[in-house]
């Protein structure tokens, strides 16, 4: 692993214990369930899923509870340990999305929640995803998009680091926050078709309770009319069948 990957891995090893508290309780649970819904609606419920950047296995658990089978991969040994405890029936491995240790056509779906921005080589990761998917199978990615709020996250991380605070929700590791147009280009460039990209999640779990409640009420309006203010970007597509490739 290079230095940047090592830094991300070390950070998430440190915060593995608190990660579930952030995303599996209180407002964090509502937030994570919301982005999970945007991803899950693209998938078959009884297929074999690969979850990239699986963290502590929250989405793997969600997919398995819906009747599917799931495999998770993450660069953090600490996160993998937590995921294995949470989802004993699923397989987890340490690795990167840029070099997937799986055979061609191994999966019916690929997901990635809140980890795509860490990829050093997103084109290579999507090419690998394309390879391990069966023809006709979907991919869905939900991660922080580029907007007014995410531009300030690296500075906030440096402040929290100086104060010796653990922040599982953001970092300063050279992340890249994408626009809708950039995600479309990446997905089409990798060979996916039926590409859909949208912004979602105006109500972020870090908001104070009164602000969160208000943000949740106006979230549908913001997503429809002022999508740039939404925190997340959700992109999906599918691998074409062989006969569809011939027509492209």
What is the per-residue pLDDT for 26? 81
Residues 6+ positions from 210 with CB-CB distance below 8 Å: none
Domain count, the chain: 1
| Confidence check: pLDDT of 112 > 60 | yes
**Once rounded to an integer, what is the mean pLDDT over residues 207-227?**
87
Residues constituting the chain: 248
pLDDT tens digits, 81-101: 999 999 999 999 999 999 999
| Confidence check: pLDDT of 1 > 60 | no
Percent residues over pLDDT 90 in the chain: 56
Residue span of the structural domain in which 31 resides: 3-247
- Dihedral Cα 113, 117, 122, 125, nearest 10 deg: -30
- Compute the chain's Rg from CA coordinates: 17
- DSSP, res 3: H
Least confident span in 4-13, 35-44, 237-246: 4-13
| Confidence check: pLDDT of 70 > 60 | yes
pLDDT tens digits, 144-176: 887 766 665 555 554 455 555 555 445 556 678
Of 154 and 218, the one with more pLDDT: 218
- DSSP, res 29: H
Cα distances from 41 to residues 1, 100, 139, 234, in angstroms, run: 34, 24, 11, 11
Helix (H) or strand (E) holding 144: strand 138-144
For residue 62, give the CATH number of its domain.
3.40.50.150
pLDDT, averaged across the chain: 86
What is the per-residue pLDDT for 168? 46
């Amino acid at each position: 692993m290079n230095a940047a990957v090592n830094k991300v891995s070390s950070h998430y090893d440190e915060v593995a214990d608190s990660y579930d508290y952030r995303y599996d309780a209180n407002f964090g649970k509502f937030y994570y369930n919301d982005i999970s819904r945007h991803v899950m609606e693209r998938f078959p419920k009884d297929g074999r899923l690969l979850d990239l950047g699986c963290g502590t296995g929250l989405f793997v658990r969600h997919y398995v509870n819906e009747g599917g089978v799931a495999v998770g991969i993450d660069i953090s040994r600490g996160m993998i340990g937590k995921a294995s405890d949470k989802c004993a029936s699923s397989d987890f491995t340490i690795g990167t999305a840029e070099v997937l240790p799986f055979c061609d056509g191994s999966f019916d779906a690929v997901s990635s929640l809140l980890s795509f921005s860490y990829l050093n080589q997103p084109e290579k990761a999507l090419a690998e995803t394309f390879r391990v998917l069966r023809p006709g199978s979907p991919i869905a990615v939900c991660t922080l998009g580029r907007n007014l709020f995410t531009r300030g996250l690296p500075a906030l991380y440096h402040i929290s680091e100086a104060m010796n605070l653990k922040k599982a929700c953001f970092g300063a590791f050279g992340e890249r926050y994408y626009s809708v147009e950039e995600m479309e280009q990446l997905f089409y460039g990798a060979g996916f078709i039926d590409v859909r990209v949208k912004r979602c999640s105006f109500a972020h779990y870090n908001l104070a309770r009164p602000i969160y409640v208000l943000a949740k009420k106006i979230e549908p309006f913001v997503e429809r009319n002022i999508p740039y203010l939404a925190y997340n970007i959700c992109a999906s597509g599918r691998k074409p069948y062989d006969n569809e490739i011939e027509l492209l």
